A and B are shown apart, each in its own frame.
Chain A
Amino acid sequence: MILEMKNIKKHFGDHEVLRDISLSVDKGEVVSVIGPSGSGKSTLLRCATFLETIDGGEISYMGDCAVKTKPDGEVSYVDAKDLRRFRNYYGLVFQQFNLFPHYSILKNLTDAPIHVQGRGKEQAEQTAMELLDKMGIADKAEAYPYQLSGGQQQRVAIARALAMNPEILFFDEPTSALDPELTGEVLKVIRQLADSHMTMVVVTHEMPFAKAVSNRVIFMADGVIVEQGDPAQVFDDPQEERTKQFLRVFER
Chain B
Amino acid sequence: MTLSTMLTTMSVGMLRSFAVFMLTLLGSLPLGMVVALLKKSRFGVVRALINAYISVIRGTPLMLQLLVWYFGPFYLFGMNIGNWRFPALIFGFVVNYAAYFAEIYRGGIESIPVGQYEAAEVLGYTRTQTFMRIVLPQVVKRIMPSVTNEVITLVKDTSLAFTLAYQEVFSLAKQISAAQTSFMPFLIAGIFYFVANYLVEFVMARIEKSMDYYK
The residues of A with any CB-CB pair to B shorter than 8 Å are 49-51, 84, 87-88, 90-92, 94, 96, 98-102, 111-112, 115-117, 144-146, 160, 164
Q: Mark B86-118, 1 if CB is under 8 A from A, else 0.
A: 000000000000000000000000000101101
CB distance from A242 to the nearest CB of B (A): 31
What are 30 sample pairs from A and B whose C-beta atoms fall under 8 A apart? A51-B121, A51-B122, A87-B121, A87-B123, A87-B124, A91-B122, A94-B115, A94-B118, A94-B119, A98-B113, A98-B115, A98-B118, A100-B116, A100-B120, A101-B138, A101-B214, A102-B137, A102-B138, A102-B141, A102-B214, A112-B123, A112-B124, A116-B124, A116-B125, A116-B129, A144-B214, A144-B215, A145-B214, A160-B123, A164-B124
**A51-B215 contact, Cβ under 8 Å, with A102-B141, A112-B125, A116-B129:** no
Whether B116 and A98, one on each chain, are in contact in the complex, defined by CB atoms closer than 8 angstroms, is yes
CB distance from B158 to the nearest CB of A (A): 33
Whether B119 and A100, one on each chain, are in contact in the complex, defined by CB atoms closer than 8 angstroms, is yes
Q: Which residues on A sit within 8 Å (CB–CB) of B120?
A: 100
Query: Which of B123, B124, B137 is the most central at the interface, judged by chain A CB atoms within 10 Å of its CB?
Result: B123
**A101-B215 contact, Cβ under 8 Å, with A112-B124, A116-B123, A116-B125:** yes
CB distance from A235 to the nearest CB of B (A): 30
Query: Which of A87, A99, A102, A160 is the most central at the interface, judged by chain B CB atoms within 10 Å of its CB?
Result: A102
User: Please, how many angstroms separate the alpha-carbon atoms of A241 and B138 in the complex?
Assistant: 49
Q: Which residues on B sit within 8 Å (CB–CB) of A91?
A: 122-123
Task: Choose one: B113, B133, B137; the contact of A115 (CB below 8 Å).
Answer: B133
User: Please, how many angstroms separate the alpha-carbon atoms of A145 and B138 in the complex?
Assistant: 14
User: Please, how many angstroms separate the alpha-carbon atoms of A153 and B127 in the complex?
Assistant: 25
CB distance from B125 to the nearest CB of A (A): 6
CB distance from B200 to the nearest CB of A (A): 25
Q: Which residues on B sit within 8 Å (CB–CB) of A112?
A: 123-125
Whether A146 and B214, one on each chain, are in contact in the complex, defined by CB atoms closer than 8 angstroms, is yes
Whether B214 and A115, one on each chain, are in contact in the complex, defined by CB atoms closer than 8 angstroms, is no
User: Please, how many angstroms separate the alpha-carbon atoms of A94 and B116 in the complex?
Assistant: 11
12 extra interchain contacts, Cβ-Cβ under 8 A, other than A98-B119, A160-B123?
A: A90-B122, A91-B122, A92-B122, A94-B119, A96-B115, A99-B119, A101-B138, A101-B214, A102-B138, A102-B214, A144-B215, A164-B124
User: Please, how many angstroms separate the alpha-carbon atoms of A144 and B215 in the complex?
Assistant: 9
User: Please, how many angstroms separate the alpha-carbon atoms of A115 and B157 in the complex?
Assistant: 43
User: Please, how many angstroms separate the alpha-carbon atoms of A177 and B213 in the complex?
Assistant: 25
User: Please, how many angstroms separate the alpha-carbon atoms of A117 and B213 in the complex?
Assistant: 27
Whether A87 and B141, one on each chain, are in contact in the complex, defined by CB atoms closer than 8 angstroms, is no
Whether A100 and B134, one on each chain, are in contact in the complex, defined by CB atoms closer than 8 angstroms, is yes
User: Please, how many angstroms separate the alpha-carbon atoms of A100 and B113 in the complex?
Assistant: 11
CB distance from B111 to the nearest CB of A (A): 13
Q: Would you call B126 an interface residue if the criterion is a C-beta within 8 Å of the partner chain's C-beta atoms?
A: yes
User: Please, how many angstroms separate the alpha-carbon atoms of A164 and B215 in the complex?
Assistant: 26
